[in-house]
Amino acid sequence: MSVEKCTVYHEKQRWQMCALHALNNVFQDGKAFQKQNLDEICQSLAPSSRPNPHKSMLGLGNYDINVIMAALQRKDCEAVWWDKRRNPNELNLRNIIGFIVNTTSPIKVGYVNLPIKPKHWIALRQIDNVYYNLDSKLSKPVEIGNSDAFLDYLKEGVNLKTWQLILVVSQNVAEDRTWLISKDVATQS
């Protein structure tokens, strides 16, 4: 009897394309978005602005949350900001496609960390009942574990000042707010 090995799609960092990588990693599809798609979104958000305020002046990426939110809407999804004052145990993980974390990321020159800490987008996602950190700066996906381990991971993360958690959900789930466990269900368990 052969055991099928789980395949996890993981884009690695190039330029300042972490938003692009996070989106593709959440959707587990390298063709979900291309640089051109995100650049078009930037243009539509600020058609007459030069330079465009939603990306790097150099054209190397560094897309902001407005671009991510518009990109998600093209996939019939929504971004929901997680209120850090809430307990992640309130999340209805079954109704969440994935997570995008905005955090800081040190810049290294050789072995030296520079005092500059630009923002960085990271994807977190469940695949075959296992949660993964799909940070594009990692050489490979890092297994977080089952839903209990993942909730513990989120609790630690949301306590960090540098972490902002964004839920990726379908438009229906966003409208119905079923990304939260309903109080009726929570009191029954």
Distance (Å, whole) CA 150 – CA 152: 5
List all residues 6 or more positions away from 179 whose beta carbon is below 8 Å from its beta carbon.
Answer: 80, 91, 92, 95, 96, 167, 169, 173
Please give the C-alpha separations between residue 71 and each of 24, 29, 112, 137, 148, in angstroms, as whole numbers. 11, 14, 35, 21, 30
Backbone φ and ψ of 151, nearest 5°: -65, -40
* Paired tokens of 104: 């800081």
Distance (Å, whole) CA 19 – CA 21: 5
Q: Which of 10, 18, 42, 54 is catalytic?
A: 18
DSSP code per residue over 52-84: -TTS-TTSSB---HHHHHHHHHHTTEEEEE--T
54 among known catalytic residues = no
Tell me the sheet residues that pair with 124.
99, 133
Q: Which of 10, 21, 54, 120 is catalytic?
A: 120
Which residues are catalytic, by number?
18, 120
